[in-house]
Structure 1
Amino acid sequence: MDYVIEMLNITKVFGNFVANDNITLQLKKGEIHALLGENGAGKSTLMNVLFGLYQPDGGEIRVKGKSVKITDPNVANDLGIGMVHQHFMLVDTFTVTENIILGKEPKHGAGTIDIKSAAEEITRLSELYGLEVDPYAVVADISVGMQQRVEILKTLYRGADILIFDEPTASLTPQEIIELIDIMKKLISEGKSIILITHKLKEIMEVADRVTVIRRGKAIKTLNVAETNPTELASLMVGRDVVFKTEKKPANPKEEVLKVENLVVKDYRGVDKVKNLNLSVRRGEILGIAGVDGNGQTELIEAITGLRRVESGNITLVGKDITNLKPRKITETGLGHIPQDRHRHGLVLNFSVGENFVLQSYYHEPFSKIGVLQNREIYNYANKLIEEYDVRTQSAYEPARALSGGNQQKVIIGREIDRDPDLLIAAQPTRGLDVGAIEFIHKRLIEQRDNGKAVLLISFELDEVMNVSDRIAVIFDGQILDIVNPKETNEQELGLLMAGHKVDRDNHQQMLDQAVKKEGEE
C-alpha cells in the first residue's frame, strides 16, 4: 500500500505529560482520513508534529515513502503539507490576497510586490476548487466561513497536496459546513489528500474514508468509515457508551426571570441589529434561540450581559432593571454567561486555570481578604472544579492558553454554573467539545433547569437546540419570528423560519407527516 504520509510510533512528551504515546497514522493518496478523539486526547499535538510546529521525542515520519525531518512549517510546506488551523492565522487589516501571499510574495522586476498577478492566481485557484473569495476584500470584513476559505487557499497557493484540517467546522454555520464538505470532496477529486480533525461524528460518517481514534494519547483503532457507525466511534473515543439524546423530564416553568421588551441594539457600524425584540425566560425552562449567524444573536447576548449599549427598550432580570448596567453589576444581580467567543470574553489566556476559575468572584471571600488574594483558597477551589468538570490539565497552575479548546470551554462552564446564577446564558456552549463532553454539558444545563434556574441557550447546532430546549425562539433579522415547541416541530420547519418564512400553522401537521414519511422512505 502506498501512503503519502506515514507517522510511525510517534511520541511527544511535555514535561511529565505524554501527549502522544507511540501513535501510528497512515494517510493514503486521495482519501479523507479523520482523526477522532476527546478534548486533550492529543490530536492537534500529533498534527502539529506533522506540520513542524513540534518536534517528536520518538518515532519516524515518512512523506511519499521517504523518511523526513520536519523541523518547521516551511519544511512542511516544501514537502507539500499545509495546515488549516482551528483558530485562523490571518491579519484582520490585510486583504485576502495580502494574507495568502504573506511570506511568499511574488515580485516585479523592480522588487515590488506583484499584487495583481497574485490576485489572478488566487482567483484561478478559487475557481478550480470552488472556493469563491474576493481577493481584494479586507479579512476583518468577511464572514468566518469566508476566512476559512482564505486559510485553505493559503495552503493551495503554497502548493500543498496534503491538507490538515483542525476542527474546521467548529465556528461555522450549518450552511457553511455543507459548503466546506463540498469543498473537501472537490479537493479530493483534484488529487489532494486530507487529514480531518473533528469531534463531529455526523461529519465523519458523511465525508471521511477512514478514521483513527485516539484516546488519552494512544491510538485505539483505525476503521473504514463504511464499516462503522457513530455509536461505535463514540464508545471507542470516550471508552464508554454515550447517550446521544439527553433524557429529561417535562419542564415545570414558573415565574419570569428574564424579560426583554422592545429592545433595539446597534452593531459596530451603527446599524440596527436587534429591532424591537421581545423575549422572556422563566424559572425551570430552557429557551433555545435558533437562527443563522448574523441575525442579531451576538448583539442580543452582549446587550443582556452589559457588553454592548442598548439604544432603546428594557431588560429586566429577577425583577430588576439591568438595562445598560456594567457587566459586574449584571453578573451580581444573578447572571451567568458562557460566551460564544471563549478567547475574547471567556478567559484570560495568560492567566492560570485557577485564576480563570475565579475571574467572576476573586474579590469575594474566601478568595480575597482585605484586598489580598488567597492563593490557597483559589487553587483548592480550582482543583475541585477541575475534578468535577473533568478538565484535562497538568495542574491548576498551567496557563489557560495551554489547554485544548474543549478544556478551555469546560473551565468557563464550570466557573459560571458553580456560581449558581438565576439566569444562565449559554452561547454555543458545546462548540469544539467531543460527544462525551457534549453529553455532560447538556446534562448540566438540564440540571440547572430542574433546580429552578432559567437557561437561555443560543446555538447554531439545530440538533442541540431541539434536544435540549423546552421552547425554541427563532430569530430572523433582529426579531423573534416565532416561538415553537421542539416536540411539535422539525428541522425543515426551523430551517424555513430561520430563512424568514413563517409557517402556516394550518398546514403544520401535514408538513410534519410528509417529513416523517420522507425519512421512512430514506
Structure 2
Amino acid sequence: MEYVIEMLGIRKEFPGIVANDNITLQLKQGEIHALLGENGAGKSTLMNVLFGLYQPEQGEIRVRGKAVKITNPNIANDLGIGMVHQHFMLVDKFTVTENIILGKETKSGLKIDLKKAEQEVREISERYGLAVDPQAKIADISVGMQQRVEILKTLYRGAEILIFDEPTAVLTPQEIKELIQIMKTLIKEGKSIILITHKLKEIMEVCDRCTVIRKGVGIGTVNVSETNPNELASLMVGREVTFKTEKADAKPAQSVLEINGLIVKDSRGLTAVNSLNLDVKAGEILGIAGVDGNGQTELIEAISGLRKSESGSIQLNGKEIRNLPPRKITEAGTGHIPQDRHKHGLVLDFPIGENMVLQTYYKTPFSKTGVLNFKQIYQKAKSLIQEFDVRTPSEFTLARALSGGNQQKAIIGREVDRNPDLLIAAQPTRGLDVGAIEFIHKRLIEQRDNGKAVLLLSFELDEILNVSDRIAVIYEGEIVAIVNPKETTEQELGLLMAGSKQKEVGEQTNV
C-alpha cells in the first residue's frame, strides 16, 4: 500500500515535556484522515513537525515512499504539503489576493502583476467552490471567509496534501457545513487531507480513518465506518465519557439577576440589546440561545461591567449594578467566565498561578498593605490546579504555554472558587474536547445545586439543551421566547433563533 505521507516513530521534546512519543501516522491518497486527541495531547505539535516548523528528535517522514527532511515550511510547500492554521496567518490591511500571493508573487518585469494574480485566484476559487472576493480587504471579511483565503493560499502554492488544524473551532454552524462541502470537493479533485479535531460529530461525517493520540502517545488508527462516537471518545480520554449530562430537576428560588428594559449599543453605535427583559433565579441554569451577532456579547459585557449600557436596569440581589466598574460588580457577587479567554480571561505573560488570583489578589491573605504575598498566592493556585485538573508543568508556567482546555479550566477554577451568587459562563466549552466539556458541565451543575444562579451563553445547541433548566432565545437584541428544554427540539429552537414567533414555530413543527 503506498501512502502519500508516513510519519514513523516521531518523537518531539520540549524542555520538561515529551509532546510526541513514538507516534506513527500514515495518510492514504484521496482520504480525509482525522487526528484526534484531547486539548494538549500533542496533535498540533505533530503536524508542525510535518510542516517543518519543528524538528523531531527521532523518527522518519516519508512523502510518497521517499524519506525526506522537512527543515522549514518552504520545503513542505515544495513537497506539496500545505497547512491551514487554527489562528490564521493573514495580514489584515492586505487584500485577499495580496495575502494569497505573498511570497509567491507573479511578476511582470519588476512589478507585481496583481491583475494576473487576481485572475488566478478567481480561477482556483471557482474550481474548488471557495467563493471569495479577490479585492476585499481581510479586515472587512468574516472569519469563515478568512479561512477560505487560508485554504486558497495553500492551493495557490500547489498543495496536494492539506493539514487543517481545528478548522471549525471559530466557525458558525452554517460555515461548518460549507467547510465540510469544501473538503469533500478537494478530495474529489485528488487532494488528501489530515484533519486535526476533537469534534466527534465531524469525524463521523467526513473522515475515512482516524488516528488517536493521548498525552503525546499514539493509541492507534481506526476505520471511521467501523467505530462510533462513544468508542472514539473513550480512546481519546482513556475512560467512558457520558454525552448526556446527568442532573436532577432544578429547584429555582428567588431571582438573583433581574434585567428590565436594557438598551446597549455595539462598538459602531448601533443598538445591539433592545429593551431586553430577563431574570435568572438561584438554583437554575438559564441558557441563552441565539445566532451569533444578536446582542449576546453586548448583553454579557453590560452585565459584567465591560461595556456601558444606555438605559434600563440590571439588579443583582435587588441592588442596581448597571454601569458600575467591573470590580464593584464582581464584589457584589458575580463570577465571569468570559467568551474570549485570551482577551478578557487571562494575562498570558503572567504565570498561571498569578492568573488564579486576578479577582482577589488585593485581599488578604494574598496582599497586606499593598504588598503581595507570593507564598500564599502560589499555595492557593496549587490547590486550585489540583482541584480543577489543570494540566501544567507547574504553577509557575506562563499561562500562554498551556493548551486552550487547561487555560479554560484555570479560569473556571478561579471563578467558581469565589462562590459567586451569579456565575456568567460565556462559551465555557468553546474549542474543548469531550473530557473537558464533561468536567465543565458538572461544575456548572454543582454551582446550580449549591443554590447559585448560572447564566450560560453558548452557540452549541446541544450544550444549551443538555445543561439549561430554562432557555431564553435572543433575536435582534430581544428575548423572543423562553422555553423548557424538555419540551422543545433543536428544530424549534432553530426557528425561534431565526426570528419566527413562538406561535408560528408551533404551527411549523406540527405540520
TM-score by length of structure 2 reads 0.97
Q: Post-superposition shift, 1:493? A: 0.5
Tell me the SS of whatever aligns to 1:94.
Answer: coil
Name the structure 1 match of 2:509: 511
Query: What does residue range 254-333 of structure 1 map to in structure 2 within 5 Å?
Result: 254-333=253-332
Cα distance in structure 2, aligned partners of 1:188 and 1:308 = 46
The corresponding residue for 1:357 is 356
Q: How far does residue 325 in structure 1 lie from its aligned partner after superposition?
A: 1.5
Question: Does 1:63 pair with 2:87?
Answer: no
Instruction: List aligned pairs for 1:93-104, cutoff 5 A.
Output: 93-104=93-104
Separation in structure 2 between the aligned mates of residue 233 and residue 171 of structure 1, nearest angstrom: 23
- The corresponding residue for 1:486 is 485
**Residues 98-247 of structure 1: pairs in structure 2 closer than 5 A:** 98-109=98-109, 111-247=110-246
Please report how far the alpha carbon of residue 175 of structure 1 lies from its aligned counterpart in structure 2 after TM superposition.
1.2
- Cα distance change of structure 1 residues 360 and 106 upon mapping to structure 2, 3 Å threshold: farther
Letter in 1 for 2:92: D
- Confirm or deny: 8 A CA contact 2:471 2:482 kept in the other structure: yes
3-state SS of 1:175 partner: helix
Distance in 1 (CA, whole Å) between partners of 2:262 and 2:506 is: 32
Task: Report the Cα offset of residue 289 of structure 1.
Answer: 0.8
Residue 29 of structure 1 aligns with which residue?
A: 29
- Partners of 1:2 and 1:168 lie apart in 2 by 27
Aligned residue for 2:62, secondary structure, equals strand
Tell me how far apart the structure 2 counterparts of residues 491 and 295 of structure 1 sit (CA, whole Å): 18
Farther off after superposition, 54-63 or 263-272: 263-272
For the aligned residue pairs, the C-alpha RMSD in angstroms reads: 1.5
Distance (Å, rounded) in 2 between the aligned partners of 1:84 and 1:100:
12
| Match of residue 402 from structure 1 | 401
Corresponding residue for 1:91? 91
1:122-169, CA deviations, whole angstroms, 9 ceiling, x for partnerless residues? 222222212112222222222222221122122112221111111111
Alpha-carbon distance between aligned partners in 1 of 2:53 and 2:375, rounded to the nearest angstrom:
36
User: What is the CA-CA distance between 1:439 and the residue it aligns to?
Assistant: 0.6
C-alpha distance in 1, partners of 2:103/2:349?
A: 28
Q: How many residues align?
A: 511
Q: Note the alpha carbon deviations across 1:170-210, whole angstroms, 9 max, x for none.
A: 11111111111111111111111111111111111001100
How far does residue 287 in structure 1 lie from its aligned partner after superposition? 0.7
Q: Pick closer, same or farther for the CA change 1:186–1:367 going to 2, 3 Å.
A: same
CA distance in 2, matches of 1:85, 1:161: 16
Contact kept in structure 1, 2:495 and 2:505, CA below 8 Å: no
Deviation at 1:506, TM superposition (A): 9.0
Give the CA deviation at 1:96.
2.1
How far is 1:90 from its partner?
Answer: 2.0
**Alpha-carbon spacing, 1:137–1:263, altered in 2? closer, same or farther (3 Å):** farther
Structure 1 stretch 146-155 or stretch 23-32: which is displaced more? Answer: 146-155
SS in structure 2 at match of 1:504: helix
Structure 2: tracts of 5 or more residues without a match: none
SS of corresponding position for 2:108: coil
Aligned to 1:373: 372
Partner of 2:421: 422
CA distance in 1, matches of 2:367, 2:85: 39
Secondary structure at the aligned position of 2:251 is classed as coil
Alpha-carbon distance between aligned partners in 2 of 1:104 and 1:430, rounded to the nearest angstrom: 39
| Percent of aligned pairs with the same amino acid | 75
- What is the rounded CA distance, in whole Å, between the counterparts of 2:11 and 2:50 in structure 1? 12
Q: Distance in 2 between matches of 1:341 and 1:136?
A: 30
Secondary structure of 2:386's match? Answer: helix
Q: Aligned equivalents of 2:146 and 2:132: distance in 1? A: 9
TM-score (norm 1): 0.95
Cα shift at 1:490: 0.3
Establish whether residue 392 from structure 1 lines up as the match of residue 417 from structure 2.
no
Counterpart code for 1:511: T
Q: Give the aligned partner of residue 53 of structure 2.
A: 53
Instruction: Report the alpha carbon displacement of residue 466 of structure 1 after superposing the two structures with TM.
Output: 0.2
The answer to which of 115-124 and 146-155 deviates more is: 115-124
Q: Which residue of 1 aligns with 2:42?
A: 42
Counterpart of 1:464 in 2: which secondary structure? helix
| 1:79 maps onto 2:84 in alignment | no
